[in-house]
A and B are shown apart, each in its own frame.
Chain A
């Protein structure tokens, strides 16, 4: 079946690193995404990784993929108050196929 799981809440201090974890069940997911959603807003694509990659770094964001364990993580370095939002892990088989989303992790950054 298709399922994506995430922890629901994470709280970090400003300046620390945040690590948001995700597990997925569908091994045919080729595209693995991280989306950010601020209160009352739509979805913002933060980054993505292909299933044949282990790691991707994009400025303060680092994505790690353990395909064997079907585990994906998002690390945000030097977390800022503006990073407070809900972060969704998601997967899809192709770039245009349906995207299966996790329940979202609410990140709170304490000043």
Chain B
């Protein structure tokens, strides 16, 4: 079975630009969450989506937005990029309910803002 996939794997942008990151959950998983991991720190929760609706939002500015599509894949958008947005962006999927016990993380997209 394919795990959580994310694209692109690496990305370089300049300040002020916009970026879109993509995530495909494990087949059958309906919940997708996004995390930001700045170098040297633990991941920080950004968003959770379930059945195309936002179910949770972390302490991030409005420049960050996301959506989930009917096939449960998801996009994370960041506008007006700042140097501090440079990080590893992780996507996690979960069945959301039932007997499954955890979220499964993808390999991440490494974003560098110059």
Contacts and interface: CB of A to CB of B under 8 A. Distances in A.
A98 B102 contact: no
Given A45-B104, A48-B102, A98 B56 contact: yes
Given A33-B102, A96-B50, A102 B90 contact: no
B32 to A, nearest CB: 10
Interface string A60-104: 000000000000000000000000000010101001111111111
Looking at chain A, what size class is its interface with the partner chain? 20 to 34
Looking at chain B, what size class is its interface with the partner chain? 20 to 34
B42 A102 contact: yes
Interface string B88-114: 101010111100111111111000000
A72 B56 CA distance: 26
Given A96-B50, A96-B95, A98-B33, A31 B101 contact: yes
A58 B97 CA distance: 24
A64 B45 CA distance: 25
B107 A95 contact: no
Contacts of A97: 48, 56
A99 B101 contact: no
Given A43-B105, A101-B44, 5 more contacts: A4-B42, A42-B88, A43-B43, A97-B48, A104-B42
Closest 3 pairs (CB-CB, A-B): A101-B42, A96-B94, A96-B96
Interface of B: 31, 33, 35, 41-45, 48, 50, 56, 58, 88, 90, 92, 94-97, 100-108
Interface of A: 4, 31, 33, 35, 41-45, 48, 88, 90, 92, 95-104
